[in-house]
């Protein structure tokens, strides 16, 4: 089965609002990355976490290895936040292989 379960698959926000994306893991992960895939298809690094919480502007991410999940919080959403967000995690013993979730397609509307 899938090692990385990402939800929701799609999300619509009005400008200025916020929400959370979540990834659940079915195996022990040593680290997680979050990416935004923009309209050109490029993968933009948002966060890399081996544990704990990081914050960058309007984005905040948490990784809890023991409870096997990671979250990405977006606050005060802007139009340019639209895109597809992926979590990707490295399983213990996987030798750097990142396993990606299926993505969350975010649409921010004015």
Partner 1 sequence: DPKIIQKPKYLVAVTGSEKILICEQYLGHNAMYWYRQSAKKPLEFMFSYSYQKLMDNQTASSRFQPQSSKKNHLDLQITALKPDDSATYFCASSHRRGADEQYFGPGTRLTVL
Return the residue of 8, 97, 107, 109 that touches partner 1, per CB under 8 A.
Answer: 97
From residue 69, give the alpha-carbon distance in Å to each of 20, 27, 101, 110: 13, 10, 12, 31
HSE, CB side, 13 Å, CA atoms: give it for residue 21. Answer: 30
Name the segment binding partner 1 (CB under 8 A); options: 18-26, 56-64, 69-77, 82-90.
Answer: 82-90
Residue 50: count of CB within 10 angstroms of its CB: 11
Return the residue of 23, 90, 104, 108 that touches partner 1, per CB under 8 A.
Answer: 90
Name the segment binding partner 1 (CB under 8 A); options: 8-16, 20-28, 66-74, 84-92.
Answer: 84-92
């Amino acid at each position: 089965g899938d090692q990385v379960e990402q939800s929701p698959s799609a999300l619509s926000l009005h400008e200025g609002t916020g929400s959370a994306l979540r990834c659940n893991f079915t195996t022990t992960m040593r680290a997680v990355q979050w990416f935004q895939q923009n309209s050109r298809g490029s993968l933009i690094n948002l966060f890399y976490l081996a544990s704990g919480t990081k914050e960058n502007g309007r984005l905040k991410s948490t990784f809890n290895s023991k409870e096997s999940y990671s979250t990405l919080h977006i606050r005060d959403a802007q139009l340019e936040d639209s895109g597809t967000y992926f979590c990707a995690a490295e399983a213990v013993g996987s030798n750097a292989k990142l396993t990606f979730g299926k993505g969350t397609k975010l649409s921010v509307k004015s």
